Amino acid sequence: MQEWILNLFKQDKPVIAMAHVPALPGTPRYDEIGGMDLLIEKVLPDVKILVGGGVDAIMFCNEDDRPYVFEAGIEQIAAMTRVVTECAPDDIPFGVDFLWDPNAAIAIAHATGASFTREVFTGVYESDMGVWAPSAGETMRFKRLVGARDLKVFYNIVPEFASTLGTRSVAQRAKSAFVSSLADVILVSGPMAGEEPPIDFIKEIKKAIPEVPVFLNTGAREENIAEFLSIADGVIVGSSLKLDGDTWNPVDQERVKKFMRVVTQVRADTTNA
C-alpha cells in the first residue's frame, strides 16, 4: 500500500462514505422554496452520523443533479462549493465528486480544501448522457494551473450509467490510466449506483498494477464488504448506509455501525494474518 494512503486516512483499507447533496440550483429537481439552506440542512446531519459512525473520510457528490450533464453550470459550482464548505468535517479528510464535470470537481475540491477527488477522467464510453470522452490531459493541466498539486485523483474506469467503447480489458485500461494519465487510485464500479462490480475486475487490476491502490466504488454492503476488502485496498460506500438502502434517503446510523463493525473485523484479521 502506498504510504500516502496511511498518512491521509490513518487506516489500511479506508472507508470513504458518500454525502449525497440534493439537487443544486439550475437543475431540474432543485427545491427553490427550500433553497440553499435546505441543502445544508439535509447534508450536515448525514455527515455528522457518518463521522460519528467511524468512517475514515467523506466524499461530497451532487448525486441528485439528474439528468446529468458533462459541463457544470456556474450556479452549480458556486452552490456545491458553499455546501462543501459548510458541511465538511473537521477531523477526517474529505473529497469532492461532481457528476460529470472533472474540471468542476477539481475546482471545488481545491477551493474547499478537499484532499481528493473522484471522476471519470479518461476513456470513451456510450452513456445515458451520450458519447462520453473526457480528457485527462486537459483536466490534469487544469489541476496544475489552479495550484491543486497535492489533490489526489481517483479514476473511475468502470463508470456507472455507461459502457466502455473498445476492446481493452479492465486491467489494461487501469494500467493505462495509471501510466499515461497519472491516476492516484483506480476505482471499480457496478453498472449503477448501489450495484457491485464483478470482484474479478478488482483481482485483474491488482494483478496488473499491484503498486496502485484499487478501491471498490459502488455496491458495498455489510454482507459483501469482507469479501471485497480481502482484495480491494479501500471502499467508497453510499447507498447501503442509507435508510432502507435507498440512495435518496438520509443516512441510517445503525447501518453505518453494522458496516463499520465488519470493516473493523476485516482490518483486524488482515493485521493478524
197-252 residue pLDDT tens: 999 999 999 999 999 999 999 999 999 999 999 999 999 999 999 999 999 999 99
Q: Is the CA virtual torsion 258, 23, 160, 180 positive or negative?
A: negative
Cell numbers for 106: 477539481
Distance, CA of 61 to CA of 74 (rounded, Å) = 16
Tens-digit pLDDT profile for residues 118-143:
999 999 999 999 999 999 999 999 99
Regarding beta strands 125-127 and 130-132, do their DSSP bridges make them parallel or antiparallel, or are they unpaired?
Answer: antiparallel
Q: Is residue 188 one of the residues assigned to a domain?
A: yes
C-alpha cell at 97: 465528486
Whole-number pLDDT of residue 271 = 78
Confidence of residue 1 (pLDDT cuts 50, 70, 90): low
The per-residue pLDDT for range 81-115, each reduced to its tens digit, is: 999 999 999 999 999 999 999 999 999 999 999 99
Of 99, 90, 58, the closest CA to residue 236 belongs to: 58
Q: Say which CATH number the domain at 163 has.
A: 3.20.20.70
Q: What is the mean pLDDT of residues 171-181?
A: 97
Give the total number of structural domains in the chain: 1
Q: Give the pLDDT confidence score for residue 194 in this predicted structure.
A: 83
What whole-number distance in Å separates Cα of residue 267 and Cα of residue 12? 7
Helix, strand, or coil (residue 172): helix
Confidence of residue 34 (pLDDT cuts 50, 70, 90): very high
Whether residue 273 lies inside any domain: the answer is: no
3-state secondary structure of 13: coil
The residue among 200, 217, 196 whose CA lies nearest residue 208 is 200
DSSP codes of every residue in 39-105 = HHHHHHHHHHHHHHTT-SEEEEE-TT-PSP-SS--HHHHHHHHHHHHHH--SSS-EEEE-TT-HHHH
Per-chain mean pLDDT for the chain: 96
Residue 193 has what pLDDT? 82
For residue 270, give the nearest of 230, 215, 222, 210 by alpha carbon.
230
Per the domain annotation, does 272 fall within a domain?
no
| Mean pLDDT computed over 137-152 | 98
- What pLDDT band is residue 17 in, cutting at 50, 70 and 90? very high
- Would you say residue 23 has pLDDT above 70? yes
- Mean pLDDT across the stretch 250-267? 97
Locate the DSSP E strands across the chain: 15-20, 57-61, 94-97, 116-119, 125-127, 130-132, 152-156, 162-164, 185-188, 214-216, 234-237
171 part of a folded domain:
yes
248 assigned to some structural domain: yes
Mean pLDDT over residues 156-182, rounded? 96
- Which residues share a beta bridge with 16? 57, 236
Q: The domain containing residue 17 runs over which residues? A: 3-266
Identify the CA nearest to 226 among candidates 169, 267, 181: 267
Note the pLDDT of residue 114.
Answer: 98
Q: Please count the other Cβ atoms lying within 10 Å of the Cβ belonging to residue 148.
A: 19
Q: Is residue 92 one of the residues assigned to a domain?
A: yes
Please check whether residue 271 lies inside any domain of the structure. no
Mean pLDDT of 243-270: 96
Give this prediction's pTM.
Answer: 0.97
Residue 119 within any structural domain of the chain = yes
Position 184 pLDDT exceeds 90: yes
Length of the chain in terms of residues written = 273
